[in-house]
């Protein structure tokens, strides 16, 4: 029987506390190859004033939203899920579903410049905490949302380019996080494949934050905000190339069964700024 795949367009911005995150979700889906599988576009929640509860911005909205998505996935029972986001919190509901479905036979690959293991008190933005929830850490409402917790033996970070900083967070000393640096898979995929084979699993659930791409070659990410781009370029260490990431994911597809792929944190600054310009131009702004 053929695997059932669902695509989710999830313009969730509350986890990153930036409305601009929503702008990238629909554009990502438009850029991606067309597919015949079922596609669900989650309605955009309009921008609202920030509400912080238990040290997390928009906590109640994020939990409610994630619960609705999780229940939808349960009702549809897909075998594979693709998510176009949205900030990194988009992975919470679909990965929770997939970890239950493939319990004990799935690994999570976290392609990201950041570790996403922060807890309340280190930030108010949940997108930097989402992986901590999968480990059962941080806010209890979010960690309780995850029914099957992730064992770090089945977790691999890929592309964190400042591991001392990222894994030096509050819970960093509690775990032995494995990370493959961008330069370690620049020429071939052997280091990543070897690490996964040591896990003795068949299924892969992949979180792909686009900020894992090198900042000098990909400028549609958070640190490429035109107001800070040139300063950040001097400070942020090199990331992964388009070529190495494409090769890596295709190499993994040949040896493992990829059942989840979330694409997060696409921030098309130029397109957004142009859209804002067009919205204010004569004739264009007039509703005809």
Of residues 19 and 6, more confidently modeled? 6
Q: Which domains does the chain have, with CATH numbers?
A: 5-279 (3.40.800.10)
Rounded Cα distance, 214 and 210, in Å: 9
Distances (CA, A) of 67 to 43, 52, 74, 94, 128: 14, 19, 11, 10, 19
Instruction: Return contacts of 69-75, CB within 8 angstroms, 24+ apart.
Output: 69/8, 69/10, 69/42, 69/93, 69/94, 70/96, 70/97, 70/145, 72/40, 73/6, 73/97
Structure confidence at residue 56 as a pLDDT band (50, 70, 90): very high
Dihedral of alpha carbons 92, 97, 99, 105, sign: negative
Percent with pLDDT over 90 in the chain: 93
- For residue range 137-146, list pLDDT tens digits in order: 999 999 999 9
Q: What is the pLDDT of residue 285?
A: 85
pLDDT band, very low/low/confident/very high, at 2 (cuts 50, 70, 90): confident
Segment 145-167 mean pLDDT: 97
**Average pLDDT over the chain, rounded to whole?**
96
**Residues 6 or more apart whose Cβ sits within 8 Å of residue 33:** none
Strand 56-57 relative to strand 52-53, pairing: antiparallel
Of the pLDDT bands very low, low, confident and very high (cuts 50, 70, 90), residue 43 is very high
Length of the chain: 288
> Is residue 234 pLDDT above 70, yes or no?
yes
Task: Give per-residue pLDDT as tens, 178-195.
Answer: 999 999 999 999 999 999
Largest CA distance in the chain: 62
pLDDT in tens, 66-99: 999 999 999 999 999 999 999 999 999 999 999 9
Neighbours of 150 (CB within 10 A): 21
């Amino acid at each position: 029987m053929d695997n059932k795949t669902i695509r989710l367009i999830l313009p969730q911005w509350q986890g990153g506390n930036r409305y601009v995150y929503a702008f990238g979700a629909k554009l990502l889906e438009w850029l991606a190859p067309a597919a015949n599988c079922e596609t669900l576009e989650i309605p955009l929640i309009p921008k609202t004033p920030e509400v912080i509860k238990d040290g997390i911005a928009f906590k109640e909205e994020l939990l409610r939203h994630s619960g609705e998505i999780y229940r939808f996935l349960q009702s549809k029972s897909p075998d594979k899920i693709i998510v176009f986001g949205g900030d990194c919190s988009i992975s919470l509901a679909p990965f929770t579903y997939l970890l239950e479905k493939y319990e004990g036979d799935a690994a999570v690959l976290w392609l990201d410049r950041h570790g996403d293991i922060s807890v309340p008190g280190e930030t108010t933005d949940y997108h930097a905490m989402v992986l901590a929830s999968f480990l059962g850490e941080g806010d209890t409402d979010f960690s309780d949302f995850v029914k099957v917790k992730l064992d770090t033996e089945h977790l691999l970070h890929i592309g964190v380019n400042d591991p001392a900083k990222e894994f030096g967070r509050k819970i960093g000393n509690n775990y032995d996080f494995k990370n493959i640096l961008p330069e370690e898979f620049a020429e071939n995929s052997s280091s990543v494949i070897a690490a996964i084979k040591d896990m003795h699993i068949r299924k892969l659930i992949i979180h792909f934050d686009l900020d894992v791409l090198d900042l000098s070659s990909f400028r549609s990410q958070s640190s490429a905000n035109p107001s800070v781009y040139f300063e950040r370029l001097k400070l942020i260490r090199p990331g992964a190339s388009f070529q190495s990431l494409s090769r890596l994911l295709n190499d993994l597809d040949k040896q493992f069964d990829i059942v989840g792929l979330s694409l997060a944190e696409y921030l098309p600054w130029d397109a957004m700024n142009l859209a804002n310009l067009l919205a204010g131009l004569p004739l264009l702004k007039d509703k005809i």
